[in-house]
Amino acid sequence: MAISLLSRTFATFALFTAMRTMNTMLLISFLGLLGCFRSVKSAPTPTAQSAPTVSFHSLSATDIHGKPFSFESLKGHKVMLVNTASECGYTPQYKQLQELHETFKDKGLIILGFPCNQFGGQEPGTEQEIEAFCEKNYNVTFQMMSKVEVKGAQQHPVYQWLTRKDQNGAMDAAVKWNFHKFLVNEDGRLAHSLSSGVSPLDEVVLNWLEGR
């Protein structure tokens, strides 16, 4: 009798713990999504911007294979930078990103995907696992980078530039969830900050690429 009661007590506790963990994860996702509805922030025209104190093309990062990637190679290209995750509600945007890449790569667009595990722990894998996931599920061929932090004390220098007006000369911005997108012009000027809920194929993106 005592053993049966003890077993039921442990089972009830385990169920309560599991439900609490699930509710916590749902709450994290919900709070993240609150800041991710369609939000577009556009920089002033280049003539109205302050000169960047840090040149976009002087930056560098590490690609998904651990090799240095110099942003000097991006001169003359329009660039989309996006923080990615493999277990997010927005993960299917990989398909749209790949479609955008295939449509505009010959017109000068370069897409840089930066895996990040800071939002809901939704990118827990290694670079090798991330690359395999992207290839298997979305046939990704655009440039993927090593995992970075896009906010906080360990924020990568590229994301410091993207989110700080005192560096980019255009605007402050905040990355609130996975698949936030930044658009940078051929001359290294920040043009748009697009929240996670904005599709990579949104008219804002297409108009920018077409120069409209």
Domain ranges, ordered by start, for the chain: 1-34, 39-210
CB neighbour burial string for 15-41, b if at least 16 within 10 angstroms, e if fewer: eeeeeeeeeeeeeebeebbeebeeeee
Fold for the domain defined by 39-210: Glutaredoxin (3.40.30)
Residue 29: pLDDT above 70?
no
Look at residue 179 in the predicted model and tell me its pLDDT: 98
- pLDDT per residue over 146-165, tens digit each? 999 999 999 999 999 999 99
Tokens of 186: 């051929």
Residue 27: pLDDT above 90?
no
Look at residue 28 in the predicted model and tell me its pLDDT: 45
Helix axes 127-138, 93-104, angle to 10 degrees: 80
Reported confidence tier of residue 191, pLDDT bands at 50, 70, 90: very high
Decide: residue 183, CB within 10 A, 0-12 exposed, 13-18 middle, 19+ buried.
buried
- pLDDT per residue over 56-115, tens digit each? 999 999 999 999 999 999 999 999 999 999 999 999 999 999 999 999 999 999 999 999
Q: Where are the beta strands (DSSP E) in the chain?
A: 40-42, 60-62, 68-70, 78-84, 109-115, 143-144, 181-184, 190-194
Active site (annotated) includes residue 88: yes
d(CA 207, CA 198) in angstroms, rounded, equals 14
Indicate the pTM of the whole model.
0.83
Say which of 36, 88, 116, 134 is annotated catalytic.
Answer: 88
- Which residue(s) pair with 40 in the sheet? 194
